[in-house]
Chain A
């Protein structure tokens, strides 16, 4: 395979995994914007999305187009329950305590997943069966297009939601000034709940579309959370589209590093990028310095 084809291959791999990081990063931003909490259990939503989908299609034998929305709804439910029972009661605790709570939740979720599904990885059949396509000498699986397509669709949906709908704008208002938002009639509690539900849904979607390619096991969450977080910081913590760009950058650089340099360094790439950004522009690509100073934490 020529160098060009190889690089093209890595690029596609990078875009694919980058889509997942983007969606995890988006989820981070949504919760961060509504609560300034960093939800370190974000990766577990992805994990649950994939595994629940496996359960619905492989065990209950439901068709794809039925299983998909059901799995998303199930994980959204998990996200909502998480907010109600773990986040809401601790709303007056210190931010650090809240973040640790999300870590504890991540452990709990992993425990539940391990209990139900064991430690083995599970797979899903690709959404459309068929042989991989050749593009410029690179071998691209059909599922890759589903992943990329889903990512694009999500980005557009989120842009519309936050930019055009009342609920979306209300959620943005809450992050900057919950007191003022409340006085304007925005029900802050509902917004917080909604942010967790929405992030969970996003994670679930990511998990479902990526499982046919890279399988899913109970322990996938933390690594995704760390990298998704790097993506969010790279793009600018709190800036929606920033996470998307950040996710793709991290994914592509990771893939290129693994392919061209040394696969052992793959997992370090996201962190190196992170440190790099923190040295030069901590507020990220799209973040603004003044805004990042206003936010409390």
Chain B
């Protein structure tokens, strides 16, 4: 996957590995856990949007499917955590195919709008299926994860769990990017007609990458559910879908590292803004605009340019 990527992976793993040794506060650990969970979703979205050039404005729905499957099946039906998790993956995959197949032919705006519509419909289902999901009042009592007697309760353990999954998925993603599959995806983005002429089954690839990105989101959703133990529909609505989109695009559209950076920054930002009380939305808006205006190609590109400029001075 290239020396640079391996080096970056190594540094990231190292930093994450020693993080809980220095920061023990549950608050900061949970922020890092949320960043990790968002990072997982955003990696899948990056493959879909940055590399394959598609778009999804309803991705929070897949996080929700993962979360509610894990939650509902363990709480209401006594499924084991692992089976519930697998059900989440399965359902997300089915729904992703259900969306991808008819919308395949749609381009740009229309595809975006279709995914938006899908996301909203899933949100409404979460809200209205009172008997199963608990509706607007949410679902509580989701059990923490335990595996062979070892319980993943508590900040530090969950931190390692989430980031272990995230790093593994990152390695998986980087492998895909630097393979014939990754090139095929980028070819679809570059020119569908040429990709098809070179033997790439464009329709199949679009469906596959969409399903894959839905699976990532489902994993994130399950991890989220077992961490917060209480879930409710607004967490999986349009606002979150758009936020995820912003993480990918503002972080650095065409790069998975950019997406991770975006996830980090846009997860921390709202926490940081709590202090502003009535100003919080205002400051948030100002910061977002500033990022877009000064770093239109994404924060990653913006920072690398900045670093180069500093080196030159």
Do A and B share a direct contact in the complex (Cβ within 8 angstroms)? Answer: yes
**Closest residue of chain A to B282, judged by CB?**
A111
Asked whether A115 and B279 contact (CB < 8 A) given A100-B250, A265-B124, the answer is yes
Asked whether A278 and B113 contact (CB < 8 A) given A100-B249, A111-B281, A114-B282, the answer is yes
Residues of A within 8 A of B107 (CB): 293, 297
CB atoms of B281 and A107 under 8 A apart:
yes
- CB of B25, distance to nearest CB on chain A (Å): 29
Residues of A within 8 A of B124 (CB): 265, 267-268
Could you give, for residues 216-241 of chain A, a 1 whenever the CB lies within 8 Å of some chain B CB and a 0 otherwise? 00000000001001000100010000
B118 in the interface, Cβ–Cβ < 8 Å? yes
CA A100 to CA B57, docked complex, whole Å:
11
B219 in the interface, Cβ–Cβ < 8 Å? no
- CB of A104, distance to nearest CB on chain B (Å): 4
| Interchain pairs with CB closer than 8 A, number | 107
Asked whether A97 and B296 contact (CB < 8 A) given A104-B288, A271-B117, the answer is yes
CA A176 to CA B128, docked complex, whole Å:
43
CB atoms of B117 and A274 under 8 A apart:
yes
Residues of A within 8 A of B7 (CB): none
B118, B250, B285: which contacts A110 (Cβ < 8 A)?
Answer: B285
- CB of A116, distance to nearest CB on chain B (Å): 10
**Closest residue of chain A to B57, judged by CB?**
A99
B109, B121, B242, B278: which contacts A275 (Cβ < 8 A)?
Answer: B121
A12 in the interface, Cβ–Cβ < 8 Å? no
> Quick one: which of A13-41 are within 8 Å of B by CB?
38
B246 in the interface, Cβ–Cβ < 8 Å? yes
B109, B238, B282: which contacts A38 (Cβ < 8 A)?
Answer: B109
A114, A264, A267: which contacts B278 (Cβ < 8 A)?
Answer: A114
Could you give, for residues 123-135 of chain A, a 1 whenever the CB lies within 8 Å of some chain B CB and a 0 otherwise? 0000000000000
**Closest residue of chain B to A32, judged by CB?**
B109
Residues of A within 8 A of B293 (CB): 86, 89-90
CA A229 to CA B282, docked complex, whole Å:
25
Residues of B within 8 A of A90 (CB): 292-293, 296
Could you give, for residues 267-297 of chain A, a 1 whenever the CB lies within 8 Å of some chain B CB and a 0 otherwise? 1100110110011001000000000110011
A105, A267, A268: which contacts B285 (Cβ < 8 A)?
Answer: A105
CA A108 to CA B121, docked complex, whole Å:
27
Could you give, for residues 102-118 of chain B, a 1 whenever the CB lies within 8 Å of some chain A CB and a 0 otherwise? 11001111100110111
B284 in the interface, Cβ–Cβ < 8 Å? yes
CA A265 to CA B127, docked complex, whole Å:
10
B283 in the interface, Cβ–Cβ < 8 Å? yes
A165 in the interface, Cβ–Cβ < 8 Å? no
Count A interface residues, CB 8 Å: 42
Could you give, for residues 249-290 of chain B, a 1 whenever the CB lies within 8 Å of some chain A CB and a 0 otherwise? 110010000000000000000000000001111111110110
**Closest residue of chain A to B49, judged by CB?**
A96
- CB of A26, distance to nearest CB on chain B (Å): 17
- CB of B294, distance to nearest CB on chain A (Å): 10
Residues of B within 8 A of A267 (CB): 124
A95, A104, A112, A278: which contacts B110 (Cβ < 8 A)?
Answer: A278
CB atoms of A96 and B249 under 8 A apart:
yes
- CB of A206, distance to nearest CB on chain B (Å): 22
Asked whether A107 and B106 contact (CB < 8 A) given A96-B249, A100-B246, A278-B114, the answer is no
- B residues adjacent to A (C-beta < 8 A): 55, 102-103, 106-110, 113-114, 116-118, 120-121, 124, 127-128, 238, 242, 245-246, 249-250, 253, 278-286, 288-289, 292-293, 296-297
- A residues adjacent to B (C-beta < 8 A): 38, 86, 89-90, 93-97, 100-101, 103-105, 107-112, 114-115, 118, 226, 229, 233, 237, 264-265, 267-268, 271-272, 274-275, 278-279, 282, 292-293, 296-297
- 22 cross-chain CB contacts under 8 A: A38-B109, A86-B293, A90-B293, A96-B55, A97-B249, A100-B249, A103-B246, A107-B284, A111-B283, A112-B285, A118-B278, A226-B116, A229-B113, A264-B128, A265-B128, A268-B121, A271-B120, A274-B113, A274-B116, A275-B117, A278-B103, A282-B106
Q: Top 3 nearest A-B pairs by Cβ distance?
A: A108-B285, A111-B282, A111-B281
